[in-house]
């Protein structure tokens, strides 16, 4: 458990029962959200992790889910696929805390490099990734099928 702004967060892997709340956050966070089936499939891949950040609760089952991260660990590469934070919890360090926790777990499992793609227009995310040590290493032209936007490719040594 770590502090994120004024809020303490606990981290755990997603369970199937978390899917409705994860999809609420996904739909609120993105103009082109992942489908429920895409998120559900990540739960079945051995190489995939869906890590949740929640505010701990007084009573079991009463936690408040603040955000999530989906990533793959393939050999020694940690690939961040999706980071989403509840709009009400933004600017409180939730994404930063999720990335830090996920990177730490990936390092413990042998990851040496982290990489991600981010929309060229997503200045807030790009700024966050830079402060965490990610660097721009390329562009994937028209990466996002929904609107043809380019993706910046960023990586970081772990």
Q: Quickly list H helices, the chain.
A: 19-29, 36-42, 94-108, 123-131
Q: Which of 7, 63, 117, 134 is catalytic?
A: 117
Query: Strand pairing partners for 144?
Result: 149
Active site residue 129: yes
CA–CA dist 125, 39 (Å, integer)? 21
Burial of 113 (0-12, 13-18, 19+ CB in 10 A): middle
Active site residue 134: no
Q: Which residues contact 149 (CB under 8 A, 6 or more apart)?
A: 119, 120, 121, 142, 143
Q: Which of 77, 129, 134, 136 is catalytic?
A: 129
Catalytic residue numbers, as ranges? 117, 129
């Amino acid at each position: 458990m770590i502090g994120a702004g004024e809020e303490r967060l606990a981290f755990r892997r997603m369970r199937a029962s978390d899917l409705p709340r994860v999809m609420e956050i996904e739909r609120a966070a993105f103009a082109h959200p992942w489908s429920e089936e895409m998120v559900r499939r990540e739960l079945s891949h051995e190489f995939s992790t869906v890590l949740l950040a929640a505010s701990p609760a007084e009573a079991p089952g009463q936690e408040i889910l603040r955000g999530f991260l989906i990533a793959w660990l393939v050999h020694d590469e940690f690939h961040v696929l999706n980071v989403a934070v509840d709009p009400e919890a933004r600017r409180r360090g939730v994404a930063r805390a999720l990335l830090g926790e996920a990177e730490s777990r990936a390092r413990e499992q042998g990851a040496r490099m982290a990489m991600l793609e981010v929309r060229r227009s997503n200045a807030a995310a790009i700024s966050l990734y830079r402060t965490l040590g990610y660097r721009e290493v390329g562009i994937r032209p028209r990466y996002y099928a929904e609107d043809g936007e380019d993706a910046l490719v960023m990586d970081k040594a772990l």
